[in-house]
Structure 1
Amino acid sequence: MDDLSTTSLTIILFSLLFLSAFFSSSETGMMSINRYRLKNKVKKKHRAAKLVSKLLERPDRLIGVILIGNNLVNILATMVATIIAIRLWGEYGELLLPIPLTIMFLLFAEVTPKTLAAIHPERIAFPASFILTPLLKLLSPLVVVVNLLSNGMLRLFGVSLNSQNGDDLSSEELRTVVNEAGSMIPKRHQNMLLSILDLEHATVEDIMVPKNEIIGIDLDENLEDILSQLRNTQHTRLPVFEDSIDQVKGMLHARHIANLMSRDPEDITKEAILEMMTPIYFVPEGTSLNTQLLKFQRKKQRIGLVVDEYGDIQGLVTIEDILEEIVGEFTTDFASTTSKDIHPQDDGSYMVDGTVTIRDLNRTLNMHLPTDGPKTLSGLIVEYLEAIPQPGTGLKLADCPIEILQIKGNLIKSVKLWTKWKTKPPLAKPTETH
């Protein structure tokens, strides 16, 4: 190098700095690239994406070739800079060199290129893959030796090289990805995706029609009343029972009802109804919604009765109920609880049926009542008070003032609640106002 002019050496120095910047930015770009976007581009046969994906299959070798190249050009750059410094400053050149050389490396070979690569990883990683791929093949013997030594040191510290699960996402991590998608995913679709993730945290008890609200055909009633009910029903399937739902006999489908009504009046009997029934599909309580949705699909069922560990019927759940948890209420749903159980008042409060589910109440009024205990508002209030309240009792749940309006037997029939305190201050916990 002594035969080269200072100008030539300066050009060589900046060329080496450029190569150092290339290796530094390539390392950051490769490691910062979005793996899921990369996989999508690979499926679309994107050439550069396929090269990047191939390089990332062995990150130890990729890092090895980058660091070998980076260290090599950095050492050469230091040698060239030393010669230039001696020519410019004489015997003091080697002493004065570290400060300006460090600044140059930080600005041009480290901070600036790595920041750019972190902001635009694909713009750096994709072009770099066309250089790093052949370079890895060229330096493969040296890379293999370096990897053997470094991997051996990692094993000494108990680091497993096979436990690379960086791309696996938990349910909560996937939820964060969906929330952070922003305008890339429409809000409606975001809500649906989040609702699908929520299915594993909810059980059939959260959405079932309670036992006392199940509508069915009671064979103990006279035939004319039964036929009138069949003519006017808004449901496609009706459970058939004697005296109470606990004595359920089977399920009657709408097509069977139509077939029954087309017969001669004298042929329409209770025995004919029993002959047309299909077997009841029972659902164990505690079944998560995502599991039950798959069971409905696998067993070709659309409706089932929820039973507890003793076989007692607790409620009724349908596949439509589960789908509504994902896409929202269907306009054709005649049994919508949120429309008939929650009534806004002029003073800003809400008249609420005590049997409304906590999930529906939270979703409709954007509240945050606990869902890990009782499933209905009535049950939640009774659990909180540890007694059946009297009409006029006031309490506050999750910073929500509530007033008991009507009691029917051991059930809270209706309450009045405020989601904001503009119209009524919070009540004490609990207070008797009657």
Structure 2
Amino acid sequence: MESLSTFWLSILLFGLILASAFFSSTETSMMAINRYRLKALSVTNKNAKRTEHLLKDTDHLIGTILLGNNFVNIFASSIATILAIKLWGEDSIVLASLTLTFVILVFAETTPKTFAAKNPEKVALPASIIIQFLIQLFKPFVWVIAQISTLILRLFGIHAGQQNNNISSEELRMVVSDAKPVIASNYQKMLLNIIDLEKVKVEDIMIPRHELISVDINKPDEILKQLERIQHTRLLTYDTSSDNITGVLHMRDVVNLYAKGEFSMENVLSLVRSPYFVPEGTSLAHQLEHFQTQKRRLGLIVDEYGEVRGLIVLEDILEEIVGQFTSNQSERIDEISLQEDGSYLVDPRISVRELNTLLSVQLPSAKAKTLNGLILEELQTIPKRDVSLKIGEILVEILQISDQTIKLVKLTKLN
């Protein structure tokens, strides 16, 4: 090596620095490249397909890159030492080392890695051709190094686990949230709502049992009276006891009988559909799938004792995704009324989740599902009129009490 002229030593040193920059930028680009975009590009781009294949075995990929990078850096250090001795004598070895360190740090590490981090596709895709060749060339050496590294890790009780490429719901939320430039805000919100379906349970959006209208199937006169005055689209039927639900009667089916001129109690009772029960604690994601497979649009939610707690309908799940689109807006206005002082008069039967959405607040909804239940949970007793309490950043004032039940509250945001 010492027999080479100063010119050729300089050319060799320059080439080694370029090689070091190549390995450094390749390593950064391979780790920074978007895997999902890479998968899409691999359909039509051979380099992208090759890069995707290399990333499936990161042990050999990183091992080859590090082997090459360390080899050229150490070799460059030797060349720089020989070159310095030839030019300035042995006293310049330390100066040569410091100069080479600065050059490698700037031109072979910081600059190429910064460029690769900002433009991973431009670096990783063409570099995959060379890296694939080097992996095949150095595969035995990389395998030996990997085995030695694994053995050393095991001595310290560290076991190299299988690579986990699964993405969690929180990570998926971050991906969707970061996709603002390419996804419209309304579609982005819908995607986030779909991801959250797994967290929301059927009892969180159900119509409570006490708000459901039911009638004894053995009393035709009562059924007829309910049909004349009911304002809902569905009527529950029970046998003798209101706890013994026997089915659901759809008002649409009854109207069709009227239209055909075939209305009679016998025909009405034949329209009663068998109940479909949903276990409490079922996530909306699973229930949406059940509705689809069972070809149903509503279900009765039952607890562990088999008692009916409420009703869940397909439209409510869809509204969790796309927002309110079928609800009667006048009913929502009656539930929440904005006052001149900025406070709100609220019907405490409203669900905590809906209240959080409408007022952009964060009242706890883990246990109590309605505002009434939340107040009782906080007070641990039946409250009296004119009682006030603070829940989070909300001041709650109880304005009306009737039959030991809260009828009206006033909410004031403290911040």
Q: TM-score, normalised by structure 2?
A: 0.90
Q: Higher mean Cα deviation, 353-362 or 64-73?
A: 64-73
What corresponds to 1:202 in structure 2? 200
Shift of 1:385: 1.3
Kindly report which structure 2 residues correspond to 1:259-298, keeping only aligned pairs within 5 A, or say none.
259-262=256-259, 264=261, 268-269=264-265, 271-298=266-293
- Quick one: distance in 1 between partners of 2:232 and 2:71? 79
Shift of 1:227: 4.3
Aligned length: 413
Q: Is the 8 A contact 1:365 1:419 kept in 2?
A: no
Shift of 1:16: 1.4
- Quick one: distance in 2 between partners of 1:74 and 1:345? 72
Change (3 A) 1:240 1:18: same
Q: Is the 8 A contact 2:215 2:223 kept in 1?
A: no
Change (3 A) 1:250 1:224: closer
Change (3 A) 1:222 1:159: closer
Q: Which amino acid aligns with 2:130?
A: I
Q: Higher mean Cα deviation, 285-294 or 376-385?
A: 285-294
Q: Which amino acid aligns with 1:409?
A: D
- Quick one: distance in 1 between partners of 2:126 and 2:391? 59
Instruction: Calculate the aligned-residue CA RMSD, in Å.
Output: 2.5
- Quick one: distance in 2 between partners of 1:324 and 1:268? 35
Shift of 1:363: 0.8
Q: Is the 8 A contact 1:353 1:415 kept in 2?
A: yes
Shift of 1:415: 0.8
What corresponds to 1:211 in structure 2? 209
Q: Higher mean Cα deviation, 336-345 or 190-199?
A: 336-345
Change (3 A) 1:399 1:64: closer
CA distances 1:262-294 after superposition (whole Å, capped 9, x unpaired): 4657x612x332222110111222222222222
Change (3 A) 1:162 1:286: closer
Change (3 A) 1:385 1:226: closer
Shift of 1:198: 2.2
What corresponds to 1:18 in structure 2? 18
Where structure 2 has 5 or more consecutive residues not aligned to the other structure, the ranges are none
What corresponds to 1:428 in structure 2? none
What corresponds to 2:41 in structure 1? 41
Kindly report which structure 2 residues correspond to 1:95-110, keeping only aligned pairs within 5 A, or say none.
95-110=94-109
- Quick one: distance in 1 between partners of 2:67 and 2:200? 53
Change (3 A) 1:226 1:125: same
Shift of 1:147: 3.3
CA distances 1:30-71 after superposition (whole Å, capped 9, x unpaired): 1222223222322x3321111111112222211222223223
Kindly report which structure 2 residues correspond to 1:257-336, keeping only aligned pairs within 5 A, or say none.
257-262=254-259, 264=261, 268-269=264-265, 271-330=266-325, 332-334=326-328
Q: Is the 8 A contact 1:349 1:418 kept in 2?
A: yes
CA distances 1:180-231 after superposition (whole Å, capped 9, x unpaired): 333233222232222223222222221111112113556545565344247x
- Quick one: distance in 2 between partners of 1:206 and 1:63? 48
Match of 1:184, SS? Answer: coil
Match of 1:193, SS? Answer: helix
Shift of 1:346: 2.1
CA distances 1:276-325 after superposition (whole Å, capped 9, x unpaired): 21101112222222222222222211111122222222211111111111
Match of 1:212, SS? Answer: helix
- Quick one: distance in 2 between partners of 1:366 and 1:75? 60
Q: Is the 8 A contact 2:16 2:76 kept in 1?
A: yes
Q: Which amino acid aligns with 1:140?
A: K
Q: Is the 8 A contact 2:77 2:97 kept in 1?
A: no
Change (3 A) 1:204 1:64: closer
Q: Is the 8 A contact 1:218 1:240 kept in 2?
A: yes
What corresponds to 1:239 in structure 2? 236
Match of 1:297, SS? Answer: helix
Shift of 1:121: 1.9
Change (3 A) 1:338 1:39: farther
What corresponds to 2:75 in structure 1? 76
Q: Is the 8 A contact 1:17 1:109 kept in 2?
A: yes
Q: TM-score, normalised by structure 1?
A: 0.87
CA distances 1:246-277 after superposition (whole Å, capped 9, x unpaired): 34331123453134214657x612x3322221
Q: Is the 8 A contact 1:338 1:364 kept in 2?
A: no
Q: Is the 8 A contact 2:9 2:83 kept in 1?
A: yes
Kindly report which structure 2 residues correspond to 1:394-413, keeping only aligned pairs within 5 A, or say none.
394-413=388-407
What corresponds to 2:225 in structure 1? 225
CA distances 1:130-164 after superposition (whole Å, capped 9, x unpaired): 21112222333433343343344344444444521
Where structure 1 has 5 or more consecutive residues not aligned to the other structure, the ranges are 422-434
- Quick one: distance in 2 between partners of 1:407 and 1:226? 29
Change (3 A) 1:405 1:384: same
Match of 2:197, SS? Answer: helix
- Quick one: distance in 2 between partners of 1:185 and 1:381? 39
Change (3 A) 1:135 1:172: same
Kindly report which structure 2 residues correspond to 1:360-379, keeping only aligned pairs within 5 A, or say none.
360-379=354-373
What corresponds to 1:425 in structure 2? none
